[in-house]
């Protein structure tokens, strides 16, 4: 039952890792991101597609760049993760 949640968290973690790399090295392309993160190009491409469709990055001729939505997400990321951790802690057996 929790396997799907674990997979989703792992995927979200990769998306955030890609987004952080884009923010730090923008504009940046798939090949450079793949080398930087040591993640296969097809996975980087998928993360970029998800991030772009969600409005966190935009494509340019020089490579991916973050949007103001990504910058706002980074401001609240720790608090959002902490909320998730609290929910998971409430699920634990007493």
The predicted pLDDT at position 94 comes to 77
The residue range of the domain holding 85 is: 3-91
Tell me, what CATH number does 55's domain have? Answer: 1.10.10.10
Distance CA 35, CA 54 (A): 24
The predicted pLDDT at position 1 comes to 78
Question: What are the tens digits of pLDDT across the range 11-53?
Answer: 999 999 999 999 999 999 999 999 999 999 999 999 999 999 9
Mean pLDDT over the full length of the chain: 95
Number of domains in the chain: 1
The predicted pLDDT at position 13 comes to 96
Q: Which two tokens stand for residue 25?
A: 């090295």
Contact (CB, 8 A) for 19 and 12: no
Distance CA 94, CA 75 (A): 33
């Amino acid at each position: 039952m929790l396997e799907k949640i674990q997979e989703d968290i792992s995927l979200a973690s990769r998306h955030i890792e890609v987004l952080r790399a884009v923010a730090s090295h923008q504009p940046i392309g798939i090949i450079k991101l793949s080398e930087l993160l040591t993640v296969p190009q097809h996975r980087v491409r998928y993360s970029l597609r998800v991030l772009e469709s969600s409005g966190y990055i935009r494509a340019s001729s020089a490579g991916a760049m973050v949007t103001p939505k990504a910058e706002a997400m980074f401001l609240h990321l720790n608090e959002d993760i902490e909320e998730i951790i609290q929910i998971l802690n409430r699920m634990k057996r007493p």
